[in-house]
Chain A
Amino acid sequence: DAGITQSPRYKITETGRQVTLMCHQTWSHSYMFWYRQDLGHGLRLIYYSAAADITDKGEVPDGYVVSRSKTENFPLTLESATRSQTSVYFCASSEPGSSQPQHFGDGTRLSIL
C-alpha cells in the first residue's frame, strides 16, 4: 500500500550508542521531514530534504545526522545518543507547492537510558 513507513515503532537504547531511525515513502514526494515531539513543544523540525542529496537543518538539528541517497528513503541517525533525545520521532513527506499538506508516518518512540 502507498504511504509512509517508519521503523522501528519502539526503540530502547543506551546513552552513547548510535541509533538510526528509518523512513520510507512510496508516493515519490519530493520533500521529506523529520520532527521530534515533546510535551509542551508540539512537533519541532530536526532536518528536512527537498530532493535526493539535498538536506537542510531545521529548528533542532544538533546531535542528528540525515542522508537522502534515494527519493523514497530518509534515515535519521543519532550518532551518540543522549537522554535529552528521548522523544517521539515523526517522519513526513509532501509534494512541493503552496498549500500541500504534510503526510506523516506513525512515529517512533525512542527511549535513551
Chain B
Amino acid sequence: AQTVTQSQPEMSVQEAETVTLSCTYDTSESNYYLFWYKQPPSRQMILVIRQEAYKQQNATENRFSVNFQKAAKSFSLKISDSQLGDTAMYFCAFMKPFGQNFVFGPGTRLSVLP
C-alpha cells in the first residue's frame, strides 16, 4: 500500500519570502500522479498543482512550483513571494494510474506572517 509522509506539521514564513513544504511517499509503482491541495480556514480543498511521474519537468503554477525527485520519492512544494492568503493547511496526495483513489499525507499547517 502507498503511504505519504509530510514531516513538517507546522511551518511559518514571512510575507514575500519563499517557503518549501516537504512530501515523501512510498510506492512500488513506476507511474503515478502527485498533487498538492490547499485547505484555507474556510475548509475548502483547493487543487494547487499536479505532477505526472513520467514527466521529468517539474510542474509550475504561478508562484507555486514543485521539486519532484522520483528516485528519492520526494515531492516538495515551493511557494515564492508568500502572501497572507497562502495561510492554510497543505496536503500532498498520491494517485496510482487509473486507480482514482487518493492517498493523502497528514498535512502541513503554513502560516504566513505579516
Which residues of B have CB within 8 Å of A104? 37, 44-45
**A42 touching B104 in the complex, CB below 8 Å, given contacts A98-B33, A99-B33, A99-B52:** yes
- Residue count of chain A within 8 Å CB distance of chain B: 27
B97 → chain A closest CB, angstroms: 5
Determine the interface band of chain B, counting residues with CB < 8 A from chain A.
Answer: 20 to 34
Q: Is the pair A106, B44 in contact by a Cβ cutoff of 8 Å?
A: yes
Q: Is the pair B106, A45 in contact by a Cβ cutoff of 8 Å?
A: no
Which residues of A have CB within 8 Å of B33? 98-99
Which residues of B have CB within 8 Å of A45? 101-102
Which residues of B have CB within 8 Å of A103? 47
- Give 6 pairs: A residue, B residue, CB < 8 Å, sorted on A: A31-B100, A42-B4, A92-B45, A101-B47, A104-B44, A104-B45
7 A-B pairs with least C-beta separation = A104-B45, A42-B104, A43-B104, A42-B106, A99-B33, A107-B43, A101-B47
